[in-house]
Amino acid sequence: MKTNCLALLAATLLLAACDTPPKSPEQRAEEQCRLFRGYLSTQEPYRVQEACTRQMGEAACRECLNR
């Protein structure tokens, strides 16, 4: 079920990107970071870390999740 939640997260991010005007790379990174930090309270941390690393890259993800 948790894998389904991450798939739903990815689908939600893609749909949200289609409905909004273009954002700067910094705005997109901050928005993704907020989402991943929020998922830490509902998902297993290693799964959030894996998804975050795939989306943002290892260094950016580590910085994001350690705030």
9-45 per-position pLDDT tens digit: 777 767 666 666 778 989 999 999 999 999 999 999 9
CA angle 27, 32, 33 (to 5 degrees): 95
- pLDDT score of 21: 74
Asked if 45 and 36 touch (Cβ cutoff 8 Å), the reply is no
Q: Which residue has the higher pLDDT, 32 or 7?
A: 32
Parse the chain into domains and list their residue ranges.
1-10+32-67
What pLDDT is attached to residue 2? 60
